[in-house]
Amino acid sequence: MADCFDTVIISDLHLGSEVSQAGAALAFLQSARFKRLILLGDIFADLNFRRLTKEHWKFLGHIRKLSNPRHEIEVVWVEGNHDHGLTEVMSHLVGVPVYQEYEWQYDGKRHLAIHGHQFDSFAVGNAFLSKVGNFIFLQLQKFDSKNKRFARYLDRLNTRWLRLSEQVAHGALSYAKPGKTERIFCGHTHAPLARERDGVEYYNSGAWVDQRCTYITIGPEGVEIHDYVHETDNRDPGEERIPAFADAAAITVPAGLFPDEVYEGIPG
Ligand SMILES: [Mn+2]
């Protein structure tokens, strides 16, 4: 039986974008056990629901199911810069409350989840340019539907160029303040990361838009960042799915022991 975590965090699924790994995210959520699920922002690429595919709707349907009170799972949505303005729609559509930042206690520690664009000076100072950039990005994906290599390249380039990973980590650690919050969690950068400063722990949950899909678990063992390993599904269509495959296949990297290659190209 899979471990039951106190909390699972995923972010940056970018539903409505062609690089969204909604199917993998759904398979993961179906295989994991947890008491609380935090959708840490940018679950949608934009507010255009017409771009959602059948797979994307299936993911949303599963969230709606999880949020049913009989499951006794707390599902919360923390708004990102791409899902900004979805508060009312989301609460109705999937029955999940939306927060700008979400705070909870676990293991005697104060935990705080905030998407992270608040610490991204480019997103804050250039909301219009970010919107234009996002539009161009979505248009490019249409012309590059074959393997999305170019779109993925742009996504990585964008992240590196803005040096987002370090900037958001720094901003979040300063925001948390020693003695007030022990652990702070962000998404937004698409780069999983663990950091510690002055007794405050920072974790970034990465994204579900590329080959690399990552999620955070919080439980008695502490905080861990995991890679979700895609199932190579070449079995008979009639064969039943094995629900717990994610746990057996997941590579668990203890938080804080992330290899340097993860941050390739981002000056430390
Ligand atoms: Mn974001």
The CA distances from residue 115 to 88, 126, 247, 258, in Å, are 18, 17, 26, 21
Distance in angstroms (rounded) separating the CA atoms of residues 185 and 102 = 10
Q: What is the pLDDT of residues 160-196, one digit of tens each?
A: 555 789 999 999 999 998 888 999 999 999 999 999 9
Please tell me the distance between residue 94's alpha carbon and the centre of ligand 1 in angstroms: 20
pTM over 0.75: yes
| CA 153 to ligand 1 centroid distance, Å | 17
pLDDT tens by residue, 109-153 = 999 999 999 998 876 666 656 666 666 666 666 666 656 666 676
CATH class assigned to 4-263 = alpha beta
Both structure tokens of 152? 């993925």
Tens digits of residue pLDDT in 211-230: 889 999 999 999 999 999 86
Cα 204 to middle of ligand 1, angstroms? 12
pLDDT, residue 25, reads 98
**Domain coordinates in residue numbering, the chain:** 4-263
**76 CA to centre of ligand 1 in angstroms:** 17
**Centroid of ligand 1 to alpha carbon of 148 (angstroms):** 20
Distance 235 CA to ligand 1 centre (A): 36
pLDDT at 235: 43
- Percentage, residues of the chain above pLDDT 90: 58
Q: How far is the CA of 115 from the centre of ligand 1 (A)?
A: 7
How many Å is the maximal CA-CA distance in the chain?
54
In angstroms, the CA 161 to CA 234 distance is: 38
In this prediction, residues 39-66 reach a mean pLDDT of 94
Distances (CA, A) of 80 to 6, 7, 101, 113, 215: 23, 19, 10, 11, 16
Mean pLDDT rounded to a whole number for the chain: 81
Q: SS3 string of the chain?
A: CCCEEEEEEECCCCECCCCCCHHHHHHHHHHCEEEEEEECCCCECCCCHHHCCHHHHHHHHHHHHHCCHHHCCEEEEECCCCCCCCHHHHHHHCCCCEECEEEEEECCEEEEEECCHHHCHHHHHCHHHHHHHHHHHHHHHHHCCCCCHHHHHHHHHHHHHCCHHHHHHHHHHHHHCCCCCCEEEECCCCCCEEEEECCEEEEECCCCCCCCEEEEEEECCEEEEEEECCCCCCCCCCCCCCCCHHHHHCEEEECCCCCHHHHCCCCC
* β partners of residue 34: 5
**Ligand 1 centroid vs 9 CA: distance in angstroms?**
15
